Amino acid sequence: MPTPPATSGRLLYAQSGGVTAVINATAAGVIEAARAKGVPVYAARNGILGALREELIDTTKESKTAIAALRHTPGGAFGSCRYKLKSLEANRAEYERLIEVFRAHDIRWFLYNGGNDSADTALKISQLGKAMDYDIRCIGVPKTVDNDLAVTDCCPGFGSVAKYTAVSTLEASLDVASMADTSTKVFILEVMGRHAGWIAAAAGLAGEGTDEPPHLILFPERVFDEAAFLAKVKATVERVGWCTVVASEGIRNAEGRFLAEAGTRDAFGHTQLGGVAPVLAALVKEKLGYKYHWALPDYLQRSARHLASKTDAEQAYAVGQAAVDYALAGMNAVMPVIVRSSDAPYRWKVEPAALRSIANREKKMPRGFLTRDGFGITAAARRYLAPLIQGEAHPPHGSNGLPKYGRLKNTGVTKKLPTFEH
């Protein structure tokens, strides 16, 4: 007989990996949905590390207004981390510690808000109940600007970075076009995307005509061909007078090496990338002699709440609400995913999907989304991408002309256990 869902206890929410412009909207969805059902919510400080360290935040101490303000506040309100749990066999002590913390604070539901690696962590924790005789329900909650989670139509966080990228490409290109006669001929914008080119593809929404920017998009899904790249840049400058290039950070050469490989790795074991735009700019200068500029928006692209997509903000909130509903209904090892039913008008809904079908999988750009020469996006890609950047969700502004972002008190919960060394 399956274990019936808990009818009392606390819900623990944690944020993981790189934060987004709308991850706090998901947090608001979680907390407001739980409050409506009378369930107290704790948040882990700095993701799963907060759970291991017993560094918990009592969100019941926050006002209704403060929680509502999370819907328009970027960053991670409770802190995030890049930390991947090993298998139960490889590091049983960490799992035993999590159960100790859950028991000590009567945590019966755990919601982990993150991307691919976080889905894997959520899946592992979801298996704790049977293995350690504790009733805990775990729900993975989607978030990633890379848009590379399997199953879901899109990932909360992506629509806003896509909008930022398309707008930045359009605006910077107008600047370059103005100066091209006597100054910059080539502008290179580097965007996030280690293995999947979704963000780079979004830049293609800036223009549709053959000579409209971006003139070249470089995707991780295609091997970087130096000769073809230089030929395309040269032909574009000669025909148009200037050239805008958008490059994903994860493009690789024929040997499979990142053009921007820095030789170090992050906490998840991913290769640290050192910047592909200057590498490409050096090629343009050396081989073609053109004056260039390049830009690396880095954190700016994922934190730009002032330019968030309304669609994205609404989806981020919706998956938070759904995650609570699933948890309290007794579901385990699932994730609320976005299901598209129509492109135009764009219609979507949220449904549960098994974590095992999402964890440790990557959704890359379909071949049919890339033009034959590999430097642009097709009409099919536009149909997919365009709805995700629709609508504005501007934050309120103060008299100083700046956005009024929310700040929480983040009152800590009294610890009950000895310090854990990991």
Active site residues: 146
Taking a C-beta distance cutoff of 8 angstroms, is the pair 46, 382 a contact? Answer: no
Compute the distance between CA of residue 88 and CA of residue 392 in angstroms, rounded to an integer. Answer: 44
The strand ranges marked E within 322-380 are: 334-342, 347-354
In terms of C-beta density within 10 A (0-12 exposed, 13-18 middle, 19 or more buried), how is residue 184 classed?
A: middle
Taking a C-beta distance cutoff of 8 angstroms, is the pair 381, 154 a contact? Answer: no
Taking a C-beta distance cutoff of 8 angstroms, is the pair 176, 291 a contact? Answer: no
Taking a C-beta distance cutoff of 8 angstroms, is the pair 350, 318 a contact? Answer: yes
SS3 state at 285: helix
| Residue 207 CB neighbour total at 10 angstroms | 17
What tokens were used for 357? Answer: 């079908």
Taking a C-beta distance cutoff of 8 angstroms, is the pair 347, 133 a contact? Answer: no
Burial 122-131 (b: 16+ CB within 10 A, else e): bbbbbbbbee
Q: What is the DSSP string of 230-253?
A: HHHHHHHHHHHS-EEEEEETT-B-
Taking a C-beta distance cutoff of 8 angstroms, is the pair 337, 151 a contact? Answer: yes
Q: Characterize the bridge pairing of strands 347-354 and 334-342.
A: antiparallel
Compute the distance between CA of residue 6 and CA of residue 16 in angstroms, rounded to an integer. Answer: 25
Residues 6+ apart with CB under 8 A from 90: none
Taking a C-beta distance cutoff of 8 angstroms, is the pair 362, 195 a contact? Answer: yes
Residues in the chain: 422
The separation between the first and the last C-alpha atoms of the chain, rounded to the nearest angstrom, is: 36
Taking a C-beta distance cutoff of 8 angstroms, is the pair 384, 348 a contact? Answer: no
